[in-house]
Structure 1
Amino acid sequence: MTPVNTSGKVLEGWNPENPETWDKAIAWRTLTISTFSLTLAFCVWFLVSAIAPKLNDIGFDLSAGQLYWLAAVPGLSGGIIRLIYMFLPPVLGTRKLIGITSLLMVIPMLGWGFAVTDPRTPFWVLITLALMTGIGGGCFSGYMPSTGYFFPKRMAGTALGLQAGIGNFGVSLIQLLGPWLMGFGLLGLGFIAPQHDRAADAPLWLHNVAFFFVPWAILAAVLAFTLLKDVPVQAKFREQLDIFGNPNTWILTIVYIMTFGAFSGFAAQFALLINNTFGKASGFAATHDPATLPKGAAFAFLGPLIGSLIRALWGPLCDRFGGAIWTFICGIGMTVATVVAALYLHPDSPDDFWPFLIAMLVLFFFSGLGNAGTFKQMPMILEPRQAGGVIGWTAAIASFGPFFVGIMLSAMDAQLFFFLCAGFFAIATALTWIYYARPGAPYPG
């Protein structure tokens, strides 16, 4: 019988580092429910990236720049919201944090579901709804530190790797299910007329992509309020600011921008990048049958799927060998893959798409590996309260990835941007080696 008092909503006497004051069942139940909610959150965050490539096909008249911005602004709002969420776990507690957030996700999903039914919906409304989807990305900086309270350090890599990896799978899930959900009327939504896909000259139920996830978000809220408990970790706002005096906060921020910033940024823009470089919006559309050109929506889910899967699977390996070495390997792989992908961004033929795709999938592979590595490092390098704050802070800054990648792709040549990214990745990799991964490093993790 565990001495932890589990009868109320707050776990009195909880200490996961002591087997006698830790309840394994409660920890894994918390991980399961919060991960379910986080997966839906990432679906919400990347909802626009699944919808935007089809907007002009159903009657909207948006420029390539406007479409990039639509897919980019969820990253802006997600990053800002993460700066708030990083302080919430000790304030709200896990139960209310997960429950309230799950209900908030319903708002942008309903908004987008109705907005796409009328192609006269103003661009400012679409931008506003895109900003609202940032709640799905913002909550990550609350969910991850909160989950960290429930597991001992020896299991941090596995627990956080599973939660982040499966949660990140929401990016791939929305892009994988999106094209399928658009193809038929969902049960109970027959009163909403389908849109007309001018490219395919066929009906298209684009609103399904948003409405489908609403009941699941409500279920997540119910599960959170009824089954989750809180850990009595409390910290005043001023106390939590001490993370900014730790140099590791800033180094790990740079590293996590490389890993998750790139993962989220390129995932959000992947479909549009394919369409604009190789597909229907490229120069090849005038000289080739559009039906033979690659469609971004058909490939967009692959990168996030690979990155998410690797992040989830690599947690146990990070627990065994440490996170730093994997983060370092990630940096090398991402740098090389980005350079290779850049070489095909001024294609001479649609056939150049295939080596570009392979390079991008390799990039996503290594980003997943690095995301697992960094989240193992943070709890090992920092004490629990600071580790939670640094996880929230680094996640907040890195989540600006979709916004930054989107505005850069709309403002400069894509090849130049990729080369600049490779240079940044090289710097982050060098910092990882110097401070964390080399023999005798000052902060091994």
Structure 2
Amino acid sequence: MTLTSPSGGDLAARAPEATLHRRKGRWIDDWRPEYEQFWAETGAPIARRNLLWSIFAEHLGFSVWLIWSVSSAFLVAQGFTFTPQQLFFLIAIPNLVGALIRVPYTLAVGKFGGRNWTMISAALLLIPTLSFAYAVTRPDTPYAVFCVIAATAGFGGGNFASSMANINFFYPARLKGAALGLNAAGGNLGVAIIQFFLPVIVGGAGIFGLVKASEGGIHLEWAAFVYAALAVVAVLAAWFRMDNLSNAKTDTRQQLSVLKHKYTWVMSFLYIGTFGSFIGYSAAMPLLIKLNFWRQPVPAVHGIGINFAFYAFLGALVGSVARPLGGYLADRFGGGRITLMAFGGMVLGTLGILVTLGMLEPLPPAPDKATLAKIAADPAAFQFPDAVRAAVEANSDVFPLFLGIFLFVFACTGIGNGSTYKIIPAIFRTDAERATAADTPERELALLDGTKKSSAAVGIIGAVGAIGGFLIPITFGSPWVTDPLAATKAAFIVFTCFYVVCTLVTWAVFLRKPSVVKAQAERGYAGLGL
């Protein structure tokens, strides 16, 4: 039987070449990064260029995905009167859509090419940004319309899966961890960046109070226009600077075959606990701070307590920075051990948060629309009730402890993200090596097939994991609990129990008995992925 590469030719007969075979549409044939001469002379610069613009596009996608996490807390300042449950649902919708579309986004790389799909996915970001800019300038926009617009922000969540699947093909096995780690961290930082700069862009206070609120009020549409312009830049950058790989072409049935692999589902479950927590907490944190530590009925009234705009970005920043650390630790000590430690830390952290929540004073609900209108008509005459002022001041004293423990939880989610995702390519690489002999054409084809499967698994695992980003805000806004503080306490009890289950699963699958992943660690393959 003659073995052929995806681009044609007798694989056994051909020697590795340092030159490229290019076709129209920036397609590259016969991409073979495992050969040192090809990689050193030709492959590395091309891979780095594609990685750079992939990071930019993914970073932009994450920012648009989480644009509602901060903007929802500013909606009242623009004349909208939504309940806490409505606001939590509004920030949860993009996470659900972003999770659901990650699988088709992953499959699209094998169907259309990485460069082509980067252009399409970046162009799709114009829908949530421009529609957002239109709706927030009209106080009569119905809540249902906001829900639809928030759903389109989920397009940005799909960018992660397609970006990771694409970059996975460009790098040799020994460098996949670093490349995918940079790609993921750059994307995750988009959450922190949007939460850091959006308050400043729209005219709200920010950067720990160093930037004061604009006297002209809040203009959420400004942030949308900025990111719409960046989406156009991402399309042009992909057109001129990125490439498609023929080796990445595959059929949907081949990609979906990873659904039969039991470790796909184990990793998916654990990724709900790590990445799902990261994205869910990132989305909910600004609103959690506002509801429990800050009071400002209208912008013309000086607020009291802790301004959510000063600190909302810190969680996402810590989680993003910790992600490469999790991958590095998984390289050194094994993915199972580091994942177990991450979940153990999350159990302790959420218990600590429950302690701080027990120290808080419940704040009264926000005024209704009629009361807000009276306050806005004569803000100088408004005075905070003594009970409200006392509760806010008491809660402000607890805030440093609450924030510190919450940031510890974010760090654990980031480390867990790195340690779980990093071993995905290693699982399929180990399968390929066990099924073939070394230094044979069969081994090379098996490794290429393993790369395709791991790229598909990245998307599926990421999709399942991202569902946690929907469930967490929904749990915080539980409609059956009218008091926001009581709902927050109930939510963290649920999360703590879930992390205990994740800890037990990690121990049982990775550490209690021999497994594929444990064998990888012993043979030095753990951590080849993100």
Taking the aligned partners of 1:45 and 1:6, their CA distance within structure 2 comes to 37
Taking the aligned partners of 1:40 and 1:324, their CA distance within structure 2 comes to 31
Select between 256-265 and 348-357 the one with higher mean Cα deviation: 348-357
Shift of 1:321: 4.3
| Conservation of the 8 A alpha-carbon contact between 1:328 and 1:429 | yes
Shift of 1:171: 0.4
Shift of 1:266: 0.7
CA deviation string 1:190-218 (max 9, x = no partner): xxxxxxxxx99752222111111122211
3-state DSSP class of the match of 2:101? helix
Distance 1:6 1:323, change over 3 A: farther
State the match for 1:250 in structure 2. 265
Pairs within 5 Å for 1:46-61? 46-61=66-81
In the alignment, structure 2 segments of 5+ residues that lack a partner are 1-15, 205-212, 362-393, 429-449, 482-486, 519-525
Shift of 1:339: 1.3
- Residue 414 (structure 1) aligned with residue 414 (structure 2): no
Taking the aligned partners of 2:152 and 2:271, their CA distance within structure 1 comes to 24
- Residue 308 (structure 1) aligned with residue 320 (structure 2): yes
Taking the aligned partners of 2:147 and 2:86, their CA distance within structure 1 comes to 9
Shift of 1:47: 0.7
State the match for 2:403 in structure 1. 357
Taking the aligned partners of 1:69 and 1:55, their CA distance within structure 2 comes to 14
Paired residue type of 1:217: A
State the match for 2:341 in structure 1. 329
- Residue 38 (structure 1) aligned with residue 58 (structure 2): yes
Pairs within 5 Å for 1:187-198? none
Normalised TM-score (structure 1) = 0.90
Shift of 1:320: 4.5
- Residue 14 (structure 1) aligned with residue 2 (structure 2): no
- Residue 87 (structure 1) aligned with residue 154 (structure 2): no
| Conservation of the 8 A alpha-carbon contact between 1:81 and 1:139 | no
Q: 2:468 aligns with which of 379, 392, 401?
A: 401
CA deviation string 1:194-244 (max 9, x = no partner): xxxxx9975222211111112221111111111211122232222222212
Taking the aligned partners of 2:310 and 2:195, their CA distance within structure 1 comes to 8
Q: 2:166 aligns with which of 122, 142, 146?
A: 146
Paired residue type of 2:197: L
Percent identity, aligned pairs only, is 32
| Conservation of the 8 A alpha-carbon contact between 1:72 and 1:407 | yes
Select between 14-23 and 32-41 the one with higher mean Cα deviation: 14-23
3-state DSSP class of the match of 1:399? helix
Shift of 1:17: 2.2
Taking the aligned partners of 1:178 and 1:403, their CA distance within structure 2 comes to 22
- Residue 121 (structure 1) aligned with residue 138 (structure 2): no
Distance 1:234 1:437, change over 3 A: farther
State the match for 2:11 in structure 1. none
Distance 1:438 1:152, change over 3 A: farther
State the match for 1:241 in structure 2. 256
- Residue 366 (structure 1) aligned with residue 412 (structure 2): yes
Shift of 1:439: 8.0
State the match for 1:172 in structure 2. 192
Paired residue type of 2:459: G
| Conservation of the 8 A alpha-carbon contact between 1:315 and 1:376 | yes
Shift of 1:137: 0.4
Distance 1:28 1:433, change over 3 A: farther
Q: 1:378 aligns with which of 391, 415, 424?
A: 424
Select between 425-434 and 217-226 the one with higher mean Cα deviation: 425-434
Select between 46-55 and 347-356 the one with higher mean Cα deviation: 347-356
Shift of 1:385: 1.9
- Residue 213 (structure 1) aligned with residue 263 (structure 2): no
CA deviation string 1:18-58 (max 9, x = no partner): 22343111111111101000000011000111211011122
| Conservation of the 8 A alpha-carbon contact between 1:337 and 1:359 | yes
3-state DSSP class of the match of 1:11? strand
Normalised TM-score (structure 2) = 0.76
Taking the aligned partners of 2:452 and 2:78, their CA distance within structure 1 comes to 49
CA deviation string 1:287-329 (max 9, x = no partner): xx97331122221100001111121455444444443332222
Q: Alignment RMSD, CA only? A: 2.2
3-state DSSP class of the match of 2:217? strand
State the match for 2:278 in structure 1. 263
CA deviation string 1:374-401 (max 9, x = no partner): 2211011123122111110111112122
Taking the aligned partners of 2:115 and 2:269, their CA distance within structure 1 comes to 31
Taking the aligned partners of 1:178 and 1:64, their CA distance within structure 2 comes to 21
| Conservation of the 8 A alpha-carbon contact between 2:203 and 2:216 | no
Taking the aligned partners of 1:209 and 1:268, their CA distance within structure 2 comes to 17
- Residue 274 (structure 1) aligned with residue 348 (structure 2): no
Shift of 1:90: 0.7
| Conservation of the 8 A alpha-carbon contact between 1:43 and 1:170 | yes
Paired residue type of 1:255: L
Select between 65-74 and 382-391 the one with higher mean Cα deviation: 382-391
Paired residue type of 1:218: V
Aligned residues: 425
State the match for 2:391 in structure 1. none
3-state DSSP class of the match of 2:340? helix
Taking the aligned partners of 1:10 and 1:317, their CA distance within structure 2 comes to 36
| Conservation of the 8 A alpha-carbon contact between 2:22 and 2:29 | no
Shift of 1:344: 2.1
Q: Which has the larger radius of gyration?
A: 2
Select between 243-252 and 323-332 the one with higher mean Cα deviation: 323-332
State the match for 1:68 in structure 2. 88
| Conservation of the 8 A alpha-carbon contact between 1:342 and 1:419 | yes
| Conservation of the 8 A alpha-carbon contact between 1:100 and 1:221 | yes
In the alignment, structure 1 segments of 5+ residues that lack a partner are 185-198
CA deviation string 1:118-157 (max 9, x = no partner): 1111111111110000000012111111110111222222
Paired residue type of 1:363: V
Taking the aligned partners of 1:159 and 1:377, their CA distance within structure 2 comes to 14
Shift of 1:177: 0.3
Distance 1:141 1:299, change over 3 A: same
Q: 1:390 aligns with which of 443, 457, 460?
A: 457
3-state DSSP class of the match of 2:22? coil
| Conservation of the 8 A alpha-carbon contact between 1:308 and 1:368 | yes
